[in-house]
Amino acid sequence: MFIEYTYLVPLIPMLCFLIIGLLGRKTPQKGGYIAIAGALISFIIAALISYEYLTGDTYPNAVTASIEWFSIGDWTMHLGYYVDGLTCMMMLFSSFISTLIFVYSIGYMGEEGPRRTRYYAEVSLFLTGMLGLIVSSNFLELFIFWEVMGLCSYLLIGFWSFRHNDGDAASANAASAAKKAFLVTRLGDVCLMAGLFILLGEFHSLDYTTLFDTANIAAADPDMLTLGMLLVFGGVIGKSAQFPLHDWLPDAMAGPTTVSSLIHAATMVKAGVYLVARGYPLFVQNPEVMLFVGIIGGVTAIFAATMALNNMNIKKVLAFSTVSQLGYMILALGAGGYLVALGMDMGGAEGTALITAGVAGFTAGCFHMMNHAFFKALLFMCSGSVIHAVGTEDMREMGGLHKHMKITSITMLLGSLSIAGFPFFSGFWSKDLVLEIAMEAGHDGTVWFTVLWVLGVITAFMTAFYMFRMWFMTFMGEEGHASQHCHGESPKTMTVPLMILSVFAVASGFLILFGLDGVVSFNVTDAGFVVGGAEAGGVGHYFEHLFTNPYTYLTIVLALLGIGIAYLMYVKKSINPGKFNKDGQSWIYRLFANRWYFPELYNQISWKIGYGVARGVNYVDRQVIDGTVNGLSGAVVGGGDAVSKMQTGHVQDYSSVVLIGVAVLSVVLIAITVILGGM
Amino acid sequence: MDLTGIFGDYTAFAPIIILLIGALILPAVQFVGKRRTATWAVALVFAIVSLIVNAIMLTDGYTGEALGLYEYDAYSGLMILLFQIVLFLAVLVSNASTETTRLHVGAFYALMTGATVGMMFVAGSTDLLTIFVGVELTSISSYAMVTMKRKDPRAAEAGVKYVIIGGMSTALTIYGISMLYGLTGTTEIAAIAETTQLTGMNWMFAIAIVAMVAGYGFKIAAVPFHMWAPDVYEGAASPVSMFLATGSKKMGLSVFFQIFLVMFVAGTAVSQIAGEEVQYLFAIIAAFTMTVGNIVAIAQNNIKRMLAYSSIAQAGYILIVMAVMSEYALSAGLFHMFTHVFMKGGAFLIVGALICAGIGEKISDYKGLAKRAPFLAVAMMLFLFSLAGIPPLAGFTSKFFLFSSAIGGVDGVTSQWVWLAFIAILNSAISLYYYARVVKAMYIEKGASTEKIKVPKIFTIAIAICVIFVIVLGVYPQLIYDFCETAAGALLGM
C-alpha cells in the first residue's frame, strides 16, 4: 500500500524545490524549513516503503512498476520505480542524512541572508536527483537523475563564488572548482551514456527487469556486453571520483561544508557505487571487468590516502579520505563480483562456494557505503562546526579546541574512530569485511587481489594515522592562532544533528548482525538474479571466523599503530614529523602535497592541448580562410576604392577555398570507394 | 476543417499562397501606412494565419499535389510547420529589436516572408529543379537581409561573404543537377532513385553527388564549407541570425533528406543500401562537422560566433541521419531539428534581447547576469544545457533518439555506425565546456554592475515560448515525435 507511492520519494523534494524557488523568499529561514520538511517526509515515506517491502510477500524479489513514457522505433521507455533491499537501504540513509544536513544548514548557513533561498532550492533539487536515481526502474531514468545531480553539484560548489569578504581568489577558486567538478564528472557521463547505448542496442530496452533477465543476458553478445559495462563503469569512475578522475572531489571543497557533506556522504559520489551495485547482474558476466573494477578501487584507496597524509586543510583531508573509502567500496564490489563471475563459469559445488563467497563482496561494498555515509556526514559536519567557530580551514591555525567545543570534539572523535576501523565502531565491521573479500578473491581467484589486499591493509593504517593527525591537530595540543578567537560551541541546530549522527556512526555496523546482510545481498538462484534475500549466507561465513582470523588482528593492530604514531607526533611531539620528510622538502612529501601533480596534468591536457587545438583551428578559420577578406568590410562601406581590391584577388581566394573543399570531398569519396572495394 | 472549399485545386499550396500574398503586399503596407508597428502586425498576422492553416492540414493528414510539381504530405507539412515557427519567432521580436527597427521594415518583413516561402516550396518539391528554385529564393532574400544593417561594417563583410559563397554553391549545385540530368534524363528525384537503386554508384554519378553535396553543404555549413556561417551570424541582426541558424539551415538539411535519402533508400525493401560509399562520405562529413564546430566554439569569446559554431556542430549531429539512412534515423533527425529551433532560436533571441538592453555580445559581458536579469539567465541556462544534451531537457531527448539511431539493433540497422554515435557523444561532452562558460559567467562570476536589466516584453514572450517547448519536448517528446515518425514514413514511403 505504500510501495505504490514510491514515486513520491523523489517527487516531494522536487515540489520543495519548486515551492522554495517560487515562494521561498517570503518564508522563515528563506525556505530552510520547507527543505527540511521535504527531506523528512521523504524519509518517512521511504521508511514505510521499506517496512512494507521487507515484511511483504515478494521479498526478496524486487517490486517494480512503471508507466510508458515514450516509444520510438521498436522500443519503449518507461518511468517507474524499482524497490529491493538495496533501494531501501539507499533511500533510507540518503533521506535521513539529508534531513540532518538541512537542519544543520539552518545554523551553518544562517549568515548567508537572502541567498539561502537559492541554497535550499538547490539542495532540494539535489536530493531529488539522488532519490530519483535510487528508485528509478531503468537506466535512462537513472541517467536523467544522475545528470540533474551533476548540474546541482555545479551550482552548489560554486555557491560561494559571490563571497566578497574572501577576496577574488576565493571566488575564482569556487568558480573553477565548480566547473572542474562538472566537466570531469561529465567525462564519466559520456562513457556512461555510450555504455547505455550499447546496452540499448543489445537488449532493445533499458528496463532493469529486461536487462537483469538471465535469458536476455545469455542472448546478448558477450563482447558488446563487456564493452558496455566497462563504459558504464567509466561513469562510475567520474561520479565516484575514482582514479584517474578523482581530482574534482578535493576541489569541490570550495563549496559550503554542508554541500560537501551532502556530496560526500548522502548523495552524488554514492551514486557511482550504487550504479555498480545496481548493475551487478550485468557486471558479473565477465571476471576481467570485475578485476578491472577491483584494481581501480584498490589503487584509488591507497592513492587518495597518501594525499591525505600531509594535507593541512581540514576539509581536504576529509575529501581525500572520501575518495579513499570509495575505493574500498569499489574494491569490495570488484572482488566479490570477480568471485561470482568465476563461480558462474565454473558451476557445480565449487562454483556455488565461490558465488557464496563473492556475494558477500556485494554486501560488504554496500555495507561500507552505508557506514561511510553516517561517519563521513558526521565528520564533515564536525569540520563545518569547527570552521564556523574559528573561521579558517587550516589545521595549523587550530589546536586545543577541545576545551572550547566539547560536543564537536567528542562527536568528531567518534567519527574518526569509526573511519579508522577501531574495533566495534561501524567502520571496523565493514572495512574488515572488505579486506576479507579481497583476501578471498586473491586466494581463490587471481593474485592481483592479494596485491590489492596488501594495498588495502596499508590504506587502513594510513587512514588511522591521517584521521587522528587531523583530530589531534585540531582539538589537542597548543592553541593555534585561530583557536584564540574561537566563538565557542556552535548553536543547537548544528550540534544536535552531530549527536544524532554520532550514534549512527558508532552503531550502524551492528546492523550487519541483525540481518542487513540478508537485505542488501545479491543472490544467484535458478530463477535468475535476485537482489536480496536470506539465502546469501556469505557474510555469516566471515563473521564466524572474525575473531579467530589473524588478519583481523593485523588490521586492528595497524589501526592502533596509526593512531599511536599520530599521538606521538602531534600531541606528545616526541617524534618530529619533519625528520621523515626533511621538513617538507623531500620529493615524496612534495609529491603528495601536490596531489601527485594531477591538477597540473589536468591543466596541461585541458588547457594546453584542448584549448590550444581550439585556438589553432579557430586561427585557420579566421585568419587563413577569412583573412583573405579582411578589410573587405571597410571596402564595401567605404565605397569603390577598395571594391577593386575584391576584384583583384579576394574572390579568387574565396573560390579556391570552395574548390579545395570540393577536392577534399572527392578525395574522401575515392578513398572510401577504394576501401570498400571499388564500384 | 475543409480547406479545399477555400483554396480549390491549390490547397496543397495554401500555406505558401498566404505567405506569398503577405510578402507581396508588405512593402505596400509600409509605404501606405508609414507605421512600422502596423507593418509588423500585418506580417505577424500573415505568419500566424499561414501557421494555423498548415497546422490544420497537417493534423488532418491532408495530402495532395498542385501543378504537378509540388506535393503536400506529412513530411512537407512538418517541415513547413518548422519554417513557420521560425518565421513566427523571428517576426515576433523584430519590431522590438533595436537592431531591426531602423531597417526598411516593409522590405525586411517581405524578404523574411519571401525567404520562408522559398523554404516551404523546397519542402514540398519532388524535383531537383523546383528544389533549386526554392533554395535560390531563400538564399537571395537572405543575402539582402544580412546586409540590411548597412552602417555596420561587420554586416557588410558578412553579406559580401555570404553572396560570394552562396554564388559558388549555387554554381556547384546546378552543375551537379545538370550532370544527373545527363545521366538519367530526368530531374525528378523518384525517377533518378529508380536508376540509382538499381545500379548503385559510378564515376560520373559520384562527381554529380560531390558537386551537390558541396553545393548544399554550404547551406548547412558542413565542414569544410562552414567558414561563412560565424561571420554571417555575427554580422547580421540577431533575429536574422536566428532565422538563418534555425530556418535556413534546416532547409539545407531537408534538401539533403529529400534528395539523397529518397535517391538511395526510399521505397526499397532491402536493407542493403546501393550507395554505401555515400553513406561513408556523409559519416565522415558528419564526424568532422560536429568535431570542428565544437572545438572551434571553445575558442570563441563572442557569443554569436559561439552559437554559430555550435549550430555547425548541431548540423553535424543531424547529418548522422545521412550516414545511417534509416526511417528511424530520419524521424529522430526531424525531431532534433524541431528541438534545435527552440533551443538555438531561444539562445539567439536572448542575445538579441540583451543587445536591445545595451549588453554586448562578449561572453564576459554576461557576467553577473543571474542577478540582473534572472529570467533571461535561467532561460539561457536551459537553452545551453539543452543544446549540450543535459536531461530532462528537449536537447537530451532528441540527441538520445538521434544517437541511438546509429547504434545497431534498433530498426534493423547494422552496428557499423556505432563509432559515429561515440564521436557524437564525445562531442556533446566537449560542447558542455563552452556552454558552461556562459553559465558560469551568468551565475558564478561577479558582474561589474548589479542594475536590473529591462528587455522588451515581446522578447520575453518569445523566449518564454521557447522555454516551454524546451521543457515540454524534453519530458513529453511524443508531442512532436509522432509527427516526425509519420513524416519520415511519408518521405521514405515505407
Q: Is the distance from CB of B263 to CB of B193 less than 8 angstroms? A: yes
Q: Examine the domain organization and report whether A568 and A611 are in the same domain.
A: no
The mean pLDDT of B353-381, rounded to a whole number, is 88
What is the overall mean pLDDT for chain B? 87
Q: Give the pLDDT score at A620.
A: 67
Strand-pair partners of B64: B72
DSSP state of A401: G
Q: Is the distance from CB of B423 to CB of B287 less than 8 angstroms? A: yes
Q: In chain B, what residues touch A668 (CB-CB under 8 Å)?
A: 281, 284
What number of residues does chain B have?
Answer: 494
Q: Examine the domain organization and report whether A486 and A582 are in the same domain.
A: yes
Percent of chain B's residues with pLDDT above 70: 95
The mean pLDDT of A526-540, rounded to a whole number, is 49
Q: Examine the domain organization and report whether A328 and A364 are in the same domain.
A: yes
Question: What band does B132 get if pLDDT is binned at 50, 70 and 90?
Answer: very high
Q: Give the pLDDT score at A537.
A: 54
pLDDT(A165) > 50:
no
Q: Is the distance from CB of B315 to CB of B246 less than 8 angstroms? A: no
pLDDT(A456) > 50:
yes
Q: Is A147 near chain B, with CB under 8 Å?
A: yes
Please confirm whether the linkage preceding A244 is cis (ω < 30° from 0).
yes
Q: Is the distance from CB of A594 to CB of A584 less than 8 angstroms? A: no
For B347, the grid coordinates are 539562445
Q: In chain A, what residues touch B410 (CB-CB under 8 Å)?
A: 73-75, 200-201, 204
For A550, the grid coordinates are 589473524
Interchain pair A637, B161: CB under 8 A: no
pLDDT(A626) > 60:
no
| Residue at B375: amino acid letter | F
Q: Examine the domain organization and report whether A259 and A368 are in the same domain.
A: no
**Range with top average pLDDT, A141-145, A339-343, A594-598, B262-266:** A141-145
pLDDT(B13) > 80:
yes
Cα separation values, B280 from A676, B259, B287, Å = 10, 17, 10
Mind listing the pLDDT tens digit for each residue in B396-432? 999 988 988 887 655 454 567 888 988 998 898 888 8
Quick one: CA dihedral B149, B150, B153, B157, positive or negative?
Answer: positive
Q: Examine the domain organization and report whether A129 and A84 are in the same domain.
A: yes
SS (H, E, C) B220-263: HCCCCCCCHHHHHHHHCCHHHHHHHHHHHHHHHHHHHHHHHHHH
| ipTM value for the complex | 0.83
Chain B 299-318, residues with CB within 8 Å of chain A CB atoms:
299-300
Quick one: CA dihedral B371, A106, A87, A366, positive or negative?
Answer: positive
Q: Examine the domain organization and report whether A492 and A408 are in the same domain.
A: yes
Q: Give the pLDDT score at B460.
A: 93
Q: Give the pLDDT score at A266.
A: 79
For residue A449, give how far its alpha carbon lies from the nearest alpha carbon of chain B (Å): 32
Question: What band does B6 get if pLDDT is binned at 50, 70 and 90?
Answer: confident
Q: Is the distance from CB of A56 to CB of A10 less than 8 angstroms? A: no
Interchain pair B440, A179: CB under 8 A: yes
Chain B 97-136, residues with CB within 8 Å of chain A CB atoms:
none
Question: What band does B337 get if pLDDT is binned at 50, 70 and 90?
Answer: very high
Nearest CB to A143: which of B172, B300, B391? B391
The domain in which residue A678 lies consists of: 631-679
| Residue at A535: amino acid letter | E
What does the CA dihedral B469, B471, B477, B478 come to, rounded to 10 degrees?
A: -70
Q: Examine the domain organization and report whether A135 and A10 are in the same domain.
A: yes
Query: Comparing C-alpha atoms, which of A408, A381, A370 is closest to residue A318?
Result: A381
Q: Give the pLDDT score at B290.
A: 93
For A373, the grid coordinates are 555515509
The mean pLDDT of B178-205, rounded to a whole number, is 82
- How far apart are alpha carbons A314 and A383 in whole angstroms? 7
Name the residue ranges covered by the structural domains of chain B: 4-492
**Cell 543544446 found at:** B387
- Helix (H) / strand (E) element for A82: namely strand A75-83
The mean pLDDT of A581-602, rounded to a whole number, is 74
- How far apart are alpha carbons A203 and A436 in whole angstroms? 35
For residue B392, give how far its alpha carbon lies from the nearest alpha carbon of chain A (Å): 6
Q: Give the pLDDT score at A649.
A: 42
- Exposure string of A182-218, with b = 16+ CB inside 10 Å and e = fewer, is bbbbbbbbbbbbbbbbbbbbbbebbbbbbbbbeebbe
Q: Is B419 near chain A, with CB under 8 Å?
A: no
Quick one: CA dihedral B389, B395, B401, B407, positive or negative?
Answer: negative
Nearest CB to B436: which of A183, A636, A655? A183
- Three-state DSSP at B151 gives coil
pLDDT(B357) > 80:
yes
Interchain pair A673, B169: CB under 8 A: no
**Cell 544536513 found at:** A101
Q: Examine the domain organization and report whether A145 and A220 are in the same domain.
A: yes
The mean pLDDT of A25-42, rounded to a whole number, is 84
Q: Which residue in chain A is spatially nearest to B437 when comparing CA positions?
A: A179
Q: In chain A, what residues touch B391 (CB-CB under 8 Å)?
A: 143-144, 147-148
- How far apart are alpha carbons B334 and B487 in whole angstroms? 9
Mind listing the pLDDT tens digit for each residue in A125-147? 999 999 999 999 999 999 999 98
Strand-pair partners of A138: A207
pLDDT(A621) > 60:
yes
**Comparison of pLDDT for A522 and A21, the residue scoring more:** A21
Question: What band does A637 get if pLDDT is binned at 50, 70 and 90?
Answer: very low
Q: Is the distance from CB of A390 to CB of A485 less than 8 angstroms? A: yes
DSSP state of A471: H
In degrees rounded to 5, what are phi and psi of residue A242? -90, 160
- How far apart are alpha carbons A496 and A492 in whole angstroms? 6
What does the CA dihedral A646, A615, A180, A602 come to, rounded to 10 degrees?
A: 170
Query: Comparing C-alpha atoms, which of A178, A323, A157, A142 is closest to residue A240?
Result: A323
**Comparison of pLDDT for A660 and A463, the residue scoring more:** A463
Q: Examine the domain organization and report whether A601 and A560 are in the same domain.
A: no
Q: Examine the domain organization and report whether A451 and A586 are in the same domain.
A: yes
DSSP state of A66: E
Half-sphere exposure for B418 (CA within 13 Å, toward CB): 19
Q: Give the pLDDT score at A639.
A: 44
- How far apart are alpha carbons A61 and A337 in whole angstroms? 20
The mean pLDDT of A191-210, rounded to a whole number, is 87
For B79, the grid coordinates are 517541415
- How far apart are alpha carbons B481 and A473 in whole angstroms? 61
Question: What band does B312 get if pLDDT is binned at 50, 70 and 90?
Answer: very high
For residue A493, give how far its alpha carbon lies from the nearest alpha carbon of chain B (Å): 29
Mind listing the pLDDT tens digit for each residue in B134-166? 999 999 999 988 888 767 777 877 788 888 888
Q: Is the distance from CB of B377 to CB of B442 less than 8 angstroms? A: yes
- How far apart are alpha carbons B443 and B457 in whole angstroms? 23
pLDDT(A535) > 50:
no
What does the CA dihedral A422, A427, A428, A430 come to, rounded to 10 degrees?
A: -170
- How far apart are alpha carbons A104 and A407 in whole angstroms? 14
pLDDT(A513) > 90:
no
Interchain pair A74, B410: CB under 8 A: yes
For residue B303, give how far its alpha carbon lies from the nearest alpha carbon of chain A (Å): 15
Percent of chain A's residues with pLDDT above 70: 87
Indicate the number of domains in chain A.
4
Mind listing the pLDDT tens digit for each residue in B49-58? 999 999 999 9
pLDDT(A516) > 50:
yes
Question: What band does B268 get if pLDDT is binned at 50, 70 and 90?
Answer: low
Q: Examine the domain organization and report whether A262 and A305 are in the same domain.
A: no
Structural domain ending residue among the three candidates A226, A255, A283: A283
- How far apart are alpha carbons A186 and A463 in whole angstroms? 29
Q: Examine the domain organization and report whether A249 and A316 are in the same domain.
A: no
Give the best residue of B256, B366, B400 to mutate against chain A (max A CB count within 10 A): B400
For residue B298, give how far its alpha carbon lies from the nearest alpha carbon of chain A (Å): 6
Q: In chain A, what residues touch B295 (CB-CB under 8 Å)?
A: 613-614, 617
For residue A336, give how far its alpha carbon lies from the nearest alpha carbon of chain B (Å): 31
Angle between the N-to-C axes of helices A348-390 and A85-108, in degrees from 0 to 180, rounded to the nearest 10: 10
For B197, the grid coordinates are 537503386
The mean pLDDT of B320-348, rounded to a whole number, is 92
Mind listing the pLDDT tens digit for each residue in B274-284? 677 888 889 99
- How far apart are alpha carbons A585 and A441 in whole angstroms? 40
Interchain pair A676, B390: CB under 8 A: no
- How far apart are alpha carbons B326 and B261 in whole angstroms? 8
Q: Is the distance from CB of A464 to CB of A562 less than 8 angstroms? A: yes
The mean pLDDT of B471-494, rounded to a whole number, is 88
Q: Which residue in chain B is spatially nearest to A158 when comparing CA positions?
A: B444
In degrees rounded to 5, what are phi and psi of residue B358? 85, 10
Q: Is the distance from CB of A4 to CB of A67 less than 8 angstroms? A: no
What is the overall mean pLDDT for chain A? 80
- How far apart are alpha carbons A33 and A26 in whole angstroms? 12
Q: Is the distance from CB of A97 to CB of A48 less than 8 angstroms? A: no
For B410, the grid coordinates are 534498433
List the Cα angle A666/A671/A677 in 5-degree steps: 125
Mind listing the pLDDT tens digit for each residue in B58-117? 988 888 887 777 889 999 999 999 999 999 999 999 888 877 777 788 889 999 999 999
Angle between the N-to-C axes of helices A32-55 and A85-108, in degrees from 0 to 180, rounded to the nearest 10: 160
Interchain pair A669, B400: CB under 8 A: no
